[in-house]
Amino acid sequence: MGLSLALVSLVNARVPAGTGQVPAHVFLVAESSVKLGIDPVGRELLSEHLVVPGRDSVSGLVEVSNFTAGPVELSPRLKAANGELPHGLRVEVTAGRRTLYAGEATALDAQLRLGERAKQRVRFRFSAPARAAGTVEGRHVNLAVRWATRKAGR
């Protein structure tokens, strides 16, 4: 009796329909820097990891502090730990309300100027358009962000 009730309940249970898409798993950590304070460093920045092309995005924050005695220009660089970045993976980099970059992660070209002893929170948001499903779906993308620095005005 108990087993038949369990089977009837299981058959009648409503299971949400699948999307038919396999999400990409995206992970991002920030590397340390000599000239900058990075927080958090070496820990996962993204609160979620599944990117479904055309639908879901993931984002995370890192705080960057200028430890130098003058203003610096920063450029974030993404490095894939397990091969190349997949084409079609997009990244939007923002600092406050300013968009520093929005486009292919493979072509990331963002610039941020930080004054002497200044700090700024920077958000990285990853997504993929539906047309990129063939190159992004099912991928495990382990990324590290490192910061190139130079004195401002050079």
Percentage of the chain lying above the pLDDT 90 cut? 64
pLDDT digits (tens, 9 = 90+) for 137-151: 888 999 999 999 999
- Cα separations (Å) of 35 from 110, 127, 144, 152? 18, 30, 18, 13
Q: Is the pLDDT of residue 62 over 60?
A: yes
Check whether domain 22-151 has CATH 1.10.3210, yes or no: no
Residues 31, 37: contact at Cβ < 8 Å? no
- pLDDT of the residue at 20: 62
pTM of the model: 0.84
- pLDDT of the residue at 15: 35
Q: How confident is the model at residue 12 (pLDDT cuts 50, 70, 90)?
A: very low
Q: Is the pLDDT of residue 112 over 90?
A: yes
Rounded to the nearest 5 degrees, what angle is found at the Cα of 85, between the Cα atoms of 80 and 86? 145
Half-sphere exposure of 103 (CA within 13 A, CB side): 7
* Paired strand residues for 150: 73
